[in-house]
Amino acid sequence: MTDNIIKALANISTSSNNTQSSSTVGSGTSIKLGMEFCAEAKISSKKVSLNIAGIGDIAMPLKQKQIKEMLKISNEAKFGLREQTLLDKTIRNTQEIHADQLDVQYDEEVLEQMLLKIRDSLNLPKHSRLIPHLHNLLIYREGQFFKPHQDSEKVPRMIATMVVVLPSAHIGGALLVHHGKLSREFTSENLAEKNIKVAAFYADCPHEVLEVTKGYRVALTYNLSLSSDQETEIDTKQEPNFIQNLELNSSIKSYFSIPKDQQENDHMLVYLLDHAYTEHSLRWDLLKGKDHMIAHALLGAANTLNLVPHLALAEIYQAWEVEEEYDYDNYKSNNSDGSDISDLKPIEMIDEQLTLEYWVDDTNKVANYAKCDVNEEQVCSSIDSDKDHLINYEYEGWMGNYGSTLDYWYRRAAIVLWEHSTEISMQFNLNYAESLAKLLALTSQKGHASAVTNVLDQADDYLFSCDKSDEQHLKWFMQIAVYIEDEVRAQSLLDHFSIRGLDASCACELLLLEKSYSIEFMDKIINSLIKNDTPHSSYFTNDCEDKMLCDSAAFVRAALKSGLAKSIVRNILDYHINTFIENGIKSSNIMSLLNKSNFKHRSNEFTALIWSCHALGDLDLATKVIAHTVEHPNVYQASDLVALVLELQKETDNDLSIAYSALYAHVKEMITQEFKQGLRSKKDYSIFIPSSDKQKFSKCKLSQIAMEFAQSPTEIQKVWGIAKDDRQLVESCITRLGIAVCCEVIKQGSPHKLVMTKSDNIYKESKQRFDLISTYNQLFQ
């Protein structure tokens, strides 16, 4: 899909590089286009002076005596690795004198001409200026070197590194600069050189200093930052290479002409740049070499085709199936921890993901956009991601049925284009909060209905990228539904949300909806909200309660106070009760342990629903929820309902008193029955297991033996020699039952022994429970 675009860009690159044509940047200054990533120069040593603190003026060419004096005040050079600064002579072996000890002076005209030559060789804009920042002086002795590395951005707007090799006799020590598959070697070896050799290269280019085999190599290093006397935005109104750009424009136009129903993702075009950039250097005016030229062409196309351009950083993840090249006669593995992958050969990519982040708009302003996943069909690049872009990798060795895999993470920069006609939907996709705030601002005043409906139409599905169960978002969308005064649109807006977004704070918005449309309309909306309900999956496995049910009473009171129609309130409350009953039935079929841990939460939900029925004055709903509770005493513990039933007994004038009396009778009976069981003996170590739980393990003989031990009034500990799998089965049974038995394994003999020990707190906990029931029993007398 993007092949023609890549071809068109390649034609522009080739034509520009071969003909050395000019393009216009900024105010119209001409610059030479090309693909250079480095530059070199030579200046007379008479045009440069060097003074070192503690030594004084240094004569050139350098003599060994001076160099040895310099070595005395130097330090071993360190290097940076991510957030660390390390000293490792196997990576960097050289001596360093810091910039604050150096005073370097150049003939101004010579320095200016040298920097201009470097600027032009690197194809930087003519109106820009390179500013050198002295970093240090490096001395390489015989046998010293610096392995391949990349420079970090040490100063603002840093774009390149400059190495000034002072004249001194040495052999070796060549500077090797890499960019993708290209390399450039700068040699400085000499026996009687009088001139100074200068090399400069883009800061992201990996480079190395080869070993000095004889003599001393002395070099000043500079960080080059880019400054400009004019606006640095690319002027896209004047097109270079007109014929080639017609081809590019035609290819991009075809790409964006794909019908919407055939698009899998956001229809954007992502071009991956060659050079590496950071958040500090990702700016249109700091793009390097070929990237600058490509940006010029794509911005021209964007201007012609009404596209919106951005820069972004792209994180690329690739998973490869690999084969290891083993030496079977002398096998060893060096890469099990990912530390050495030299013997791994990627054979097939099994997964690839690309995520865009850190966005910069066409005015060089950082955009507050979210991360965005991109489909591979939307991505094009002139080069593959390689070691220059690599930021991390992980290796996972052979795992039985799974082959060896090698995961790579790359960081690259990208130019991103999308159609201006999709700008609203893209803004909702990338900056939802701000886009929604702008939409809501339109609804704060009259007269913006057409503008609001236009945003609703253009935002597409991204309009609903929010949490559909969030009460604040539901409130906002109800406000929008009221504002547009269009029943069909209003329903389509609210059809996406869940009833879990309704709480007491939504009462006023519900009333406004009812007044703006009708009760029939509200019934449709409530039924749609109910249809979209997605109860929490962890409800039956974790110690939690359903917030919607616990907030029910507050919602009902607020809704009734606002004046919302009772039929609407009842519809919502009926669903709350049905949800509560459905959850209760499911809970009755799970292990007692989970019910026991959730007794309090279930009673909180029940209490809220009873007070909701009370506020609404609905006997049928109250009767329904109470009947369910009475039928499932294993789910709703009577002792947790005492406070509620005693409070309800005071409501003698309420129409719901008949239902309350039934609940009162149930709780009283359950408390009385438990009280009559009396307090267990201090010598009784039996643990009660409900028959429903015992039934779940009825077919497992080992579990039956474990339960017999638990129910024994005399056994406190059981030592059981059983195989490992059997031990794990028994431990699982005890854990699922939730009984007060501790398990440990004594690894002696064969098989090892499982030791089951009952808790020392069995009587203490029983006494506490009996005291509580005794107190409640007195309340019912």
Are 191 and 119 spatial neighbours (Cβ–Cβ below 8 Å)? no
Distance CA 619, CA 628 (A): 14
Host H or E run for residue 507 = helix 507-516
User: Nearest to residue 741, comparing CAs of 773, 716, 708, 713?
Assistant: 716
d(CA 159, CA 541): 56
At what angle are helices 762-779 and 657-676 packed, to 10 degrees? 140
pTM: 0.78
Provide the β-strand partners of residue 41. 198
CA atoms within 13 A on the CB side of 692: 12
Contacts of 552 (CB under 8 A, 6+ apart): 573, 576, 608, 609, 612
Encoded tokens for 297: 């062409």
Tell me which residue has tokens 């690049």: 381
| DSSP assignment of 604-646 | HHHHHHHHHHHHHT-HHHHHHHHHHHHH-TTTS-GGGSHHHHH
Identify the sign of the CA torsion 25, 29, 34, 35. negative
Q: Distance between CA 322 and CA 237 in Å, rounded?
A: 49
Spatial contact of 772 and 640, defined as CB atoms under 8 Å apart: no
Question: Cα-atom radius of gyration of the chain, to the nearest Å?
Answer: 38
Which DSSP string corresponds to 203-258? Answer: TTS-EEEPPEEEE-EEEEEEEEEEEESS--S---SS-SSHHHHHHHHHHHHHHTTS
Q: What is the pLDDT of residue 397?
A: 65
Question: Is the separation of the CB atoms in 310 and 416 below 8 Å?
Answer: yes
List of the chain residues with pLDDT < 70? 1, 13-35, 82-84, 228-244, 260-266, 324-343, 397-403, 535-543, 591-597, 652-653
Q: Token match 């200026």: residue?
A: 129
Q: What is the pLDDT of residue 434?
A: 95
- Could you count the other beta carbons within 10 Å of the beta carbon of residue 249? 19
pLDDT digits (tens, 9 = 90+) for 369-405: 999 999 988 999 988 888 888 888 888 765 544 567 8
* 418 neighbors 308 (Cβ within 8 angstroms): yes
Residue 16 contacts residue 180 (beta carbons within 8 Å): no
| Strand, helix or coil for residue 682 | coil
Cis peptide before 156 (omega within 30 of 0): no
The gap between the terminal CA atoms of the chain, to the nearest Å, is: 83
* 8 Å CB contact between 400 and 408: no
Long-range contact set of residues 211-214: C-beta below 8 Å, sequence gap at least 24: 211/143, 211/144, 211/145, 211/172, 211/173, 212/140, 212/141, 212/142, 212/143, 212/144, 212/145, 212/170, 212/171, 212/172, 212/173, 213/142, 213/143, 213/171, 213/172, 214/142, 214/170, 214/171, 214/172
Rounded-to-integer distance, Cα 643 and Cα 738, Å: 27
Q: What pLDDT score does 595 carry?
A: 59
* Per-residue confidence (pLDDT) for residue 330, from 0 to 100: 38
pLDDT at 2: 84
Torsion sign (Cα): 449, 450, 455, 461: positive
At residue 335, the pLDDT reads 43
Alpha helices by DSSP H, listed for 263-317, are 289-305
Given the structure tokens 């059983």, which residue do they identify? Answer: 722
Question: What pLDDT, on the 0 to 100 scale, is given for residue 153?
Answer: 87
